[in-house]
Amino acid sequence: MPSLSYIAALNQALRDEMARDERVCIFGEDVCLGLTGITKGLAEAHGTGRVVDTPLSEQAFTSLATGAAIAGQRPVVEFQIPSLLYLVFEQIANQAHKFSLMTGGQASVPVTYLVPGSGSRSGMAGQHSDHPYSLLAHVGVKTAVPATPSDAYGLLLSAIREPDPVAVFAPTLLMGTSEEIDGDLDAVPLGSARTHREGTDVTVVAVGHLVPVALQVAADLADEASVEVIDPRTVYPVDWETLGKSISRTGRLVVIDDSNRMCGFGAEIAATAAEEFGLAVPPKRVSRPDGAVIPYALNLDHALLPDALELTEAIRAVLRR
Amino acid sequence: MPSLSYIAALNQALRDEMARDERVCIFGEDVCLGLTGITKGLAEAHGTGRVVDTPLSEQAFTSLATGAAIAGQRPVVEFQIPSLLYLVFEQIANQAHKFSLMTGGQASVPVTYLVPGSGSRSGMAGQHSDHPYSLLAHVGVKTAVPATPSDAYGLLLSAIREPDPVAVFAPTLLMGTSEEIDGDLDAVPLGSARTHREGTDVTVVAVGHLVPVALQVAADLADEASVEVIDPRTVYPVDWETLGKSISRTGRLVVIDDSNRMCGFGAEIAATAAEEFGLAVPPKRVSRPDGAVIPYALNLDHALLPDALELTEAIRAVLRR
Amino acid sequence: MRLIREFEEHCLEMAVTGTIVGGIHPYIGQEAVAVGVSAHLRKDDVITSTHRGHGHVLAKGADPKRALAELYGASTGLNRGRGGSMHAADVGLGIYGANGIVGAGAPIAVGAAWAARRQGRDQQVAVAYFGDGALSQGVVLEAFNLAALWSLPVLFVCENNGYAISLPVDRGLAGDPVRRAAGFGLTAAAVDGMDVEAVAEAAGRAVAACRAGRGPHFLECATYRFRGHHTVEHLMGINYRDEAEVASWTARDPLARQRARLAPAVADEVDAEIAALIAEAVAFAGSSPGSDPRDALDYLYAGMVPTRPGA
Amino acid sequence: MRLIREFEEHCLEMAVTGTIVGGIHPYIGQEAVAVGVSAHLRKDDVITSTHRGHGHVLAKGADPKRALAELYGASTGLNRGRGGSMHAADVGLGIYGANGIVGAGAPIAVGAAWAARRQGRDQQVAVAYFGDGALSQGVVLEAFNLAALWSLPVLFVCENNGYAISLPVDRGLAGDPVRRAAGFGLTAAAVDGMDVEAVAEAAGRAVAACRAGRGPHFLECATYRFRGHHTVEHLMGINYRDEAEVASWTARDPLARQRARLAPAVADEVDAEIAALIAEAVAFAGSSPGSDPRDALDYLYAGMVPTRPGA
Ligand SMILES: Cc1ncc(C[n+]2csc(CCOP(=O)(O)OP(=O)(O)O)c2C)c(N)n1
Ligand SMILES: Cc1ncc(C[n+]2csc(CCOP(=O)(O)OP(=O)(O)O)c2C)c(N)n1
Ligand SMILES: [Mg+2]
Ligand SMILES: [Mg+2]
């Protein structure tokens, strides 16, 4: 069984899709060199006509991708820092996302926004440590946060093939992980959750790098409780069916995700569960604090991130009710 | 009892605060002319040295305000369209908001972002009809959405005086409203909800222009149910104490707000209520749909906005349980 | 030009009656720009337009019937009534949309040009229209750099009508437009935007150079809007331009100037043709149905549609 | 220059050992710029800096002890350990912070200049440092326009070190920096950024002109970073600059050039002084305590603190 790293999986997805589909092209800073690892070798394989190093003009090249997409390309745009999405929020939320409805369906904008190294980078401080996927979900941009190499491969493939804009976040804390792969890699549909572990007492919904954390916690708690762990894989759209079935069955919910608490992804899951899924006891969220800005010093950085201990306590708390 | 219009209230707040505090200054497009009504007469009163017409450089003038604030000013920045917040999201969320923590408290950024005409403008279509306050709440920028002229006055005053960045949304659908005022206008603390109508059966949390809608619905339903209507007034921070007391008492919650459903303000209220306030029955949200883009044709525009009918049905539904 | 003028005159009336909701940004006075530029555009060339887009869209060949129906919010409109004045588009004709955000179209045009070259459509050009106000918008300046850097076939057309709403250009712009554009390596020139033949000549040179692979061009067209920034301005009674200034520009009405160059009989014939077209458009738009409000979210996504309702 | 160099050499070691987390963007090779410019700055002048900010911050007068403590994440650091390398600031000294976002500091400097004028501090200037890569960033170009339009006392210092990470300047920038800046009405010049006296002279002229109310200036300093873009680059073993090029620039080391101008005894004395300062800083930072993790959200708000925890 070959081992596949998370970065290699993203790289492979780009490589395969570029080979399969002439229209796929890549824009971003230092993408020819492959600075983030994800685009390594692609310029050599496909030429600098399709893998394009851009100047530091995020706004213009994001909308350039929009124009190219309308004109028939399938651009992938790489951003070196998650907070660069703030810089191009207008271009994504107000231009690319809206084009299809505003033109009455004349054209859509099949662009993939790729964000390697999202979330805390351990010591990169306030402006390099955000995890802003909830913002994209709020405005309605399809958004994936793959938790494993094979999901990274499959979701990126689907993102590129989707006729709408899709954002793909690759959390920093997963970039170094690997997975044994048996069988072929394949596309993973957007909006399909993955149940990583079945359980009967409580449903844990975990996102991105917190999926392995949740699995570890579930294993550690195995004697105490039967914990179901579900990864929604895309934070928008959400696979409400899979989540709903699980939560209705267990009646208990803990959601752990790495965005700010206020109006974050966790809020949406808890709210929908409360409205629709017949919770037996109040749900719990584990998240960053409201309005979090990640401090530089490592111990302060870590103090603000959701972790295994907090999750364990949250699970125990909902089981106690 | 003099009558005060919503626009006049905002204008008066600026006028009073500029008179009281030399440091207050205004940046924005066409603010000398007072195109949106809010800054009318201020350039005449205080000079174009303090009321500054800017070119169409939203990003630069938003951060210019940041620099000026650090240097001791109290800038108010007016944006002509709510979606211009997307354009300056980097400057607000990643610069102004983070400055205090990142510098270890050396300085903060007392800027007010004023957004007149937020939400649908009835026929202004996709790019002029958003209501993006939940985005600011998610990143942790203090955000007010006043529902009445006196609250508009009082919240804008507090926003200007607050040492942190604060956004103030003035919904289009309120801009033409008026209120009879008795007594003096005064500052309204950020983070203090206002209970507009007391009730015992269900708590309705309503935001902005949906506050009068909720009050009307509550009155119309008076024979059926006793509806408490609370306006949080600031969507961040939220006055959890007032909301919590009410919801714990009624055990029933409907939240109506004009942002997209997914990860919106309604999600936060419903999630927190489910977690902490002992709901007797599942809560309900009334909002825009997920990922909404407002179409041009009026009947399509209106179809996507939360309204009295939807609220009535939601209230009846939670009462039925 | 006559078509645009008459189309807009009709729109002004309909904005007052409320048939057209949301108002419009009238292009009246600036017609020579769109018409002069479009004289050199082919169907597969791409344009991106602005909030003041009717002229660009019609000059590029959009059907006046469907353009008007769009403004009426009809399902027969260019955008099926979903876009209205500020988003009118006809992607099949290379019209990638008016745009409600100043400057936002410029990089989209650059993207279209990039794609054309990538796809081997070497002769194709992309035109980005924008106003003088947009020259202070970061994304436009970034777009200049990308186009010049990659030598893309883009014509940037700056309609300098002297104002960004109430802000006179000299209070919005340091330096002058041509010099600014040249600083980014664009081949830049200025032209009298009130003379359709002058615009056509300058644009012709620029478009030909773009098609010949000689990189992006910039054309500043000095022009003037005869009306307020937006129809709502008339209601507000605001005023920031002095009468003499307005009069000096209306005296240079591009339609009158062009009419003077034509044989009166020819001009009359054009007028009659246009009148018929407008009448046809009005009839078409007026008799077109709206959309079912249950379909309000149609077209939100082209792929999987995950949206839940708001209540 | 020696202080910056030694400070950074120490940081490079500490980045390897992990005492400094997150790595740094070394300024080594570019010292002449910050030092030449700062020679003309007063305490109340304002600077905004970049991701590569140690040189700017130290040259403006920040205490090396507290600067190093910041990088160690100590509570005695300039930012109490909350900012680290990319956000080091000393607002009391007019240092409005390094910045993790390229170009973001430029409009902040313009704002400081605006405030200074508004408050009657006519003699004050603001300096915005940024790299060649930042010349393609919209907000920087918008900032040029605002400063020029309002004739504000801002000195824009572009450190053209030839690369934005791996992108050579001629593949990132159409035209040249001075011409681009001039297109916005800035008074623009270029200087040898490897010669501290040349920088000091050019900056002196520009700063004096700013103080005299003669509007914003732009100075392109041709320079070179001797190390990788960021310390992590060394680990990655990537390479995009050829050895001969690197060698031709290290041969022009600004420290060596300046040393040659000094009497050897004087130079040795400076070196000894600096060694003592660095030793002191290392001792200070090394013995400084960290912060209690329960205080991780301290300083998030200056006013009312509404924050709820994450669990
Ligand atoms: C980025 C942005 N800022 C502000 C606005 C509001 N606004 C719409 S048009 C306009 C003035 C535009 O001036 P100009 O570019 O000269 O075009 P003109 O209206 O003169 O045709 C403004 C400020 C906007 N739509 N987009
Ligand atoms: C807006 C933005 N885009 C991208 C990055 C990632 N990044 C950090 S430094 C850098 C290169 C900057 O080049 P330059 O401005 O020339 O400064 P230098 O590093 O050469 O000093 C890039 C792309 C960033 N921090 N901010
Ligand atoms: Mg104009
Ligand atoms: Mg550089």
Angstrom distance (rounded) from CA B91 to CA B61: 9
Q: Which two tokens stand for residue A3?
A: 């081992």
Query: Does a structural domain hold residue D309?
Result: no
Are C253 and B262 in contact, with CB atoms under 8 Å apart?
A: no
Phi then psi for residue B175, to 5 deg, are: -60, -30
Average pLDDT on B31-58 reads 96
Residue with tokens 């098609």: C211
Q: What is the pLDDT of residue B2?
A: 86
Sign of CA dihedral C136, C140, C146, C149: negative
In chain D, % helix, strand, coil (3-state, to 5) comes to: 45, 10, 40
Q: Which two tokens stand for residue B78?
A: 């007016």
Q: Does D178 touch chain C (CB under 8 A)?
A: no
Residue D161 alpha carbon, nearest atom of ligand 2? 20
CB contact under 8 A, A59 and C115: no
Cβ-based neighbour number of residue C240 at 10 Å: 16
Query: Does a structural domain hold residue D304?
Result: no
Average pLDDT on B194-213 reads 98
Q: Does D189 touch chain A (CB under 8 A)?
A: no
For residue B81 and ligand 1, the question of a CB distance below 6 A is answered with: yes
Cβ-based contacts of C182 with chain D (< 8 Å)? 179, 183
CB contact under 8 A, D311 and A302: no
Predicted confidence (pLDDT) per residue in B64-75, tens digit: 999 999 999 999
3-state secondary structure of D305: coil
Closest-CA residue, ligand 1 atom 25, reads C101
Query: Does a structural domain hold residue D311?
Result: no
The closest alpha carbon to B93, from B61, B58, B59, B141, belongs to B141
CA distance C76 to chain D (A): 39
Q: What is the pLDDT of residue C80?
A: 98
Angstrom distance (rounded) from CA C280 to CA D232: 67
Beta-bridge partners for A74: A24
CA distance A105 to chain D (A): 31
Angstrom distance (rounded) from CA C5 to CA C270: 13
Query: Does a structural domain hold residue D306?
Result: no
CATH number, residue D123: 3.40.50.970
Average pLDDT on C54-79 reads 98
Indicate which residue of B97, B128, B131, B209 is catalytic: B128
| Half-sphere CA count of A66, side-chain side, radius 13 A | 28
The closest alpha carbon to A142, from C272, D223, D1, C301, belongs to C301
Confidence of residue B1 (pLDDT cuts 50, 70, 90): low
Residue type, C128: A
D39-74: b or e for each residue (b if 16 or more CB lie within 10 Å)?
bbbeeebbbbbbbbbbbbbbbbebbbbbbbbbbbbb
In chain C, % helix, strand, coil (3-state, to 5) comes to: 45, 10, 40
CB contact under 8 A, C138 and D137: yes
Q: What is the pLDDT of residue A90?
A: 98
Indicate which residue of A128, A131, A196, A209 is catalytic: A128
For residue C169 and ligand 1, the question of a CB distance below 6 A is answered with: no
The closest ligand to the CA of D133 turns out to be 2
Q: What is the pLDDT of residue D239?
A: 85
Average pLDDT on D166-180 reads 97
Q: Hey, which of B31, B53, B56, B84 would you mutate to test ligand 1's pocket, going by the most ligand atoms within 8 Å of its Cβ? A: B56
The DSSP annotation for A22-69 comes to: TTEEEEETTTTTTTTSTTTTHHHHH-TTTEEE--S-HHHHHHHHHHHH
Angstrom distance (rounded) from CA B113 to CA B95: 14
- Find the D131 Cα to ligand 2 centroid distance in Å: 8
Q: Which two tokens stand for residue C242?
A: 């002095």
Q: pLDDT in tens for each of the 321 residues of chain A?
A: 689 999 999 999 999 999 999 999 999 999 999 999 999 999 999 999 999 999 999 999 999 999 999 999 999 999 999 999 999 999 999 999 999 999 999 999 999 999 999 999 999 999 999 999 999 999 999 999 999 999 999 999 999 999 999 999 999 999 999 999 988 999 999 999 999 999 999 999 999 999 999 999 999 999 999 999 999 999 999 999 999 999 999 999 999 999 999 999 999 999 999 999 999 999 999 999 999 999 999 999 999 999 999 999 999 999 998
Q: Which two tokens stand for residue B252?
A: 């029933």
Are B204 and B230 in contact, with CB atoms under 8 Å apart?
A: yes
Are C72 and C22 in contact, with CB atoms under 8 Å apart?
A: no
| Half-sphere CA count of C36, side-chain side, radius 13 A | 32
CB contact under 8 A, D183 and C185: no
For residue D164 and ligand 2, the question of a CB distance below 6 A is answered with: yes
Are B177 and B200 in contact, with CB atoms under 8 Å apart?
A: no
**Domain span holding position C204:** 2-295
Angstrom distance (rounded) from CA D113 to CA D117: 6
- Find the D93 Cα to ligand 4 centroid distance in Å: 26
Average pLDDT on B214-243 reads 98
Q: pLDDT averaged over chain B?
A: 97
Phi then psi for residue A113, to 5 deg, are: -100, 115
For residue C56 and ligand 1, the question of a CB distance below 6 A is answered with: no
Closest-CA residue, ligand 1 atom 13, reads C164
CB contact under 8 A, C307 and B53: no
CA distance A280 to chain B (A): 11
Q: How far is CA A102 from the centre of its chain?
A: 27
pLDDT at residue B276 is higher than 70? yes
A194-320 maps to which CATH number? 3.40.50.920
- Assigned superfamily of B3-180: Thiamin diphosphate (ThDP)-binding fold, Pyr/PP domains (3.40.50.970)
Angstrom distance (rounded) from CA C240 to CA C238: 7
All chains having 3 or more CB pairs closer than 8 angstroms to chain B: A, C, D
Active site residue A131: no
Q: In this structure, are strands A234-236 and A284-288 parallel, antiparallel, or unpaired?
A: unpaired
Q: What is the pLDDT of residue A97?
A: 98
Confidence of residue C237 (pLDDT cuts 50, 70, 90): confident
Cβ-based contacts of A123 with chain D (< 8 Å)? 21-23, 73, 84
**Residues in B 231-290 with any Cβ partner in C closer than 8 A:** 261-262, 284-290
Cβ-based contacts of D107 with chain C (< 8 Å)? none
CB contact under 8 A, A291 and B126: no
The DSSP annotation for B253-318 comes to: EEEEEEEESTTSHHHHHHHHHHHHS--SS--EEEEEPTT----SSHHHHHHTS--HHHHHHHHHHH
Q: What is the pLDDT of residue C306?
A: 74
pLDDT at residue B109 is higher than 70? yes
For chain C, percent of residues with pLDDT exceeding 70: 100
Cβ-based contacts of D80 with chain B (< 8 Å)? 104-105
| Half-sphere CA count of B73, side-chain side, radius 13 A | 30
Residue type, A143: T
Residue C104 alpha carbon, nearest atom of ligand 1? 1
Neighbours of ion ligand 3 (CB under 5 A): C 131-132, 161, 164
Residue type, B277: F
Is residue D272 exposed (0-12), middle (13-18) or buried (19+ Cβ within 10 Å)? Answer: exposed
* Residue in chain D nearest B70 by alpha carbon: D112
Q: Per-domain residue ranges for chain B?
A: 3-180, 194-320
CA distance D273 to chain A (A): 30
Phi then psi for residue B20, to 5 deg, are: -75, -35
Q: Does B314 touch chain C (CB under 8 A)?
A: yes
The mean-pLDDT minimum among A91-105, B115-129, D230-244 falls in D230-244
Q: Hey, which of D49, D102, D139 would you mutate to test ligand 2's pocket, going by the most ligand atoms within 8 Å of its Cβ? A: D102
Residue type, B16: D
- Find the B74 Cα to ligand 2 centroid distance in Å: 31
Average pLDDT on D213-241 reads 93
Angstrom distance (rounded) from CA A83 to CA B94: 7
Q: What is the pLDDT of residue A1?
A: 64
Strands (E), chain A: 3-5, 24-28, 51-53, 74-78, 112-118, 142-144, 166-171, 178-180, 194-197, 202-206, 227-231, 234-236, 253-260, 284-288
For residue C257 and ligand 1, the question of a CB distance below 6 A is answered with: no
- Find the A110 Cα to ligand 1 centroid distance in Å: 28
Average pLDDT on D210-229 reads 97
Q: How many CB pairs under 8 A join A and C?
A: 163
- Find the A312 Cα to ligand 2 centroid distance in Å: 40
Angstrom distance (rounded) from CA A78 to CA A221: 39
Q: Does D121 touch chain B (CB under 8 A)?
A: no
8-state DSSP, C180: H
- Find the C165 Cα to ligand 1 centroid distance in Å: 7
Phi then psi for residue C86, to 5 deg, are: -80, -5
Q: pLDDT averaged over chain C?
A: 97
Q: Hey, which of A36, A59, A80, A128 would you mutate to test ligand 2's pocket, going by the most ligand atoms within 8 Å of its Cβ? A: A80
**CA torsion, ordered B92, B98, B99, B105, to nearest 10 deg:** 140
Q: Which two tokens stand for residue B257?
A: 């707000």
Residue type, B174: L
CB-CB: which of D73, D100, D166 is closest to A30?
D166
Angstrom distance (rounded) from CA D189 to CA D207: 13
Cβ-based contacts of C145 with chain A (< 8 Å)? 55, 57, 60
Number of domains chain C is built from: 1
CA distance D106 to chain B (A): 8
Q: Does A45 touch chain D (CB under 8 A)?
A: no
Q: What is the pLDDT of residue C305?
A: 81
CA distance D279 to chain B (A): 25
Does the model's ipTM exceed the 0.90 cut? yes
